[in-house]
Amino acid sequence: MKKLLPVLISILLFISVSYNASAQCKGFAKKVCKSELIPYIHDGNYNAAMLVEGEEADFYKTFYADQQYRLVVCGTESLPSVEFKVMDANRNVLYNNKDHNMAKAWDFKLESSQQLRIVVKVPASGQKKSEAEILSGCVAIMIGFKDQGK
């Protein structure tokens, strides 16, 4: 039992840290990131994850013809500016925020419905770091659309 105690404490700490991190992520997405969508209406989907420097997330979604969208990708202050690029099904890059001063938002509309892939990356500093020095934080991907029913 004594031998198992440190393992148990580690497990409980892991569960507790994971839960707190995801709860913070939800709060960040709702309170900070969502405001970047205004005046677009948030679609209501929740897409957020904890990432560390150098990690990527992939986001797949079908966007529909004749709709106007805003894509917002934002990270917590603990992270460097988050990179994102949007690609079509043929892997052509349609937008890369590195070409637009690391913008958090991209407004677009489509003439025909398309599956798009959004690749999000937290840039790595390139320096060797200890585990404690590696930056980590929440990254949220949010979609808004214009209310065309008014």
Residue 33 DSSP code: I
Q: Which of 72, 40, 62 is nearest to 146 (CA)?
A: 40
When asked if residue 7 is in the footprint of another protein (CB under 8 A), the reply is yes
Torsion of CA 92, 75, 61, 56, to 10 degrees: 60
Under the binding rule (CB under 8 A), the answer on residue 108 touching another protein is yes
Closer Cβ to another protein, 43 or 133, answer by number: 43
Rama region for 104: left / alpha / beta (φ>0; ψ in -120 to 50; rest): alpha
Q: How many residues bind another protein (CB under 8 A)?
A: 66
Where do contacts with another protein occur on this chain (CB under 8 A)?
A: 1, 4-5, 7-9, 11-12, 14-15, 18-19, 22-23, 26, 29-30, 41-47, 49, 51, 55-62, 64-68, 88-92, 94-95, 106-117, 119, 141, 143, 145, 147-150
